[in-house]
Structures are given as C-alpha cells and as structure tokens.
Amino acid sequence: MSASPRPTFDGPTHIPYEQVTRHVWGDATSGEVIDWIYVSSSKIHQLVFSIPSGGHFRHSDKHRTVFAADELYYVISGTFVMTNPETGEVHRLTAGEAAFFRRDTWHHGFNCGTEPLRVLEFFAPPPSQGTSSAYAKTKPNLTEFRYTQNEWLEKWPMEKAAAENRFAMKVLRDSDILWRMEGKARQALTGLLVSTDHLTVGKVFLLPGQESEVEAHGGDESIYVLEGQVALRVQVPDASPWYELKPGDGFFLPQGTLHQYRNLSDKPATIVFGVAPKYLPR
C-alpha cells in the first residue's frame, strides 16, 4: 500500500469533489478505508473517508492509529461507532455529530448503519510535521484491545458524569457547540465544535442569499461545503473574482487570506471549516 498523499497548494485553491486526491488506507489486518484527501498543508490536514455498511477500521503493526495530533471526526452521513481500544470506550455518532480527541489516543471505527458511512476528518499538527505514521511507529503497538468498560456495570447511569470525565474521546452535538455571531456589519451564525492551541473546527450557517463579512484567520483554513451553493471571494492578486462551490467541494485558504462567503441558493447553506493553528488573525 502506498504512503498517504499530501496535496498542498501555493495559494487559495478551489478543490472540486471530482478532483480530490483518492487514496486507500490500511491493509488486511487493519481493514481498508477509501479516502478523499482534500488538503495536507504544513499546518492542517483534511480528508473524507468512507466505510461500507458492516465495515470497520482497526489497526495493524504497519498502520497504527495513534498520533501526535488533535483530531476531529464529523459524520456527514451514516452511523459511525468510534472506539478507544486501549480503554474500551465506545461512542455512537450519526449525521451532524462529531468526536474529538487529542494526541496519543488509540482509535478504531465501525459502520454500524445500513448506508455507506462518510466522515470528514481534520488533523493538526498535520502529517507533514511527523505526527501521523512516523510518530505512530515510535509507540508500542497495541496488541490487545477491548470494546467494553465493565467498571461501569451496576453504576450506570448513576456515575455517568464520572465516566465521561475519564473518556479520552468527546462526542460533540449541537448542544455542545460554542455559538458566535461573527462579523460587525454582516453577522453570520458560526458554531465552533472545538478550539485548541492546534486546531479550531466549526460550521458557518448562511441563509438564502446571505453574505458574510470579509475575514481572515491566524492559520491555514480548509473548508468543506456540506449543503447549498456557495460563492467564495478571496482578495489576492490574480485570483478568480469568485469561486462557486457545491456540496462535497473543498477550498484551501493560506493563513491570513481575506475571504468572504455568499449563499447563492434559495436554501440554507452550511460550510464546515478547520483552521490551524490559530483561529483569530494575528
């Protein structure tokens, strides 16, 4: 199996779904997962992966799933069961829900639904910083794993809070979002799923015809259009006046790039974005 590609871009770049870099991750022991790798810059890594109904990924000696990065998995469609095989944690996520974990967290994933699973992943610091397979090879391989936590038997749900405090994985639903109305003259509803010293991931919601304010960030930004038709303007020399993005398309914005969104459709539009390392402009 070939090494994971690392698509990089010199400037603001539209990444149509049809042109996204394809890859297959894994082997017979870990299971194989098909990837659409959108961005792998010096600051952020973004991809979408898919698992068929009843399928899974675990890990093998060659493909160890323990990294030196913050990771967020956002379910686009299907039913995703994430596990920490070292501790026995198991979490069930459906479309619109996410799971977040930090470095040194072993993780496996299962499609426990009847439809193909598609998951959007953000990863920072990215593989180009030696945080993925190179780092995983320095860790002892996990040869025994479990998917149950018997210590909570006869204590659930009475000690639910204590259990959740010990979880390495945090499940994020709408009730967990940090909401913001971003912009001074043109406020756009923005919800942050996670914001750490390495990675911020959130969603921008645009009403039909709504336009956001011009903004920039203190890190590289990669986006994924979840729904709607979106126009994206960037203020750099020699760029297109605007780019038209459809669901499944991505876009890469280098750190500090001024940009603005407009919903071109008569239905709401949603953009999922990741910024690394700093969200606010410097």
Alpha helices, DSSP H only, in the chain? 133-136, 160-166
Of 144, 171, 18, the C-alpha closest to 81 is 171
In 3D, which of 260, 263, 281, 264 has the Cα closest to residue 212?
A: 260
Residues 6 or more apart whose CB falls under 8 angstroms from that of 254 comprise 9, 11, 12, 41, 220
For the domain spanning 175-277, the CATH number is 2.60.120.10
User: How does pLDDT run across 168-192, given as a tens digit for each residue?
Assistant: 999 999 999 999 999 999 999 999 9
Element (H, E) at 102: none
Instruction: Report in angstroms the alpha-carbon separations of 277 from 37, 82, 245.
Output: 19, 25, 25
Is the CATH number 2.60.120.10 carried by domain 13-172?
yes
What does pTM read for this prediction?
0.97
Q: How far apart are CA 61 and CA 29, in angstroms?
A: 9
Q: Rounded to whole angstroms, how far apart are CA atoms 12 and 267?
A: 26
Residue 230 structure tokens: 């979106």
What are 237-274's pLDDT values in tens digits?
A: 888 999 999 999 999 999 999 999 999 999 999 999 99
| Range(s) of the chain covered by CATH 2.60.120.10 | 13-172, 175-277
What the block records as the tokens of 119 is: 């998951």
pLDDT tens string, the chain, 282 residues long: the values are 567 899 999 999 999 999 999 999 999 999 999 999 999 999 999 999 999 999 999 999 999 999 999 999 999 999 999 999 999 999 999 999 999 999 999 999 999 999 999 999 999 999 999 999 999 999 999 999 999 999 999 999 999 999 999 999 999 999 999 999 999 999 999 999 999 999 999 999 999 999 999 999 999 999 999 999 999 999 998 889 999 999 999 999 999 999 999 999 999 999 999 999 999 998
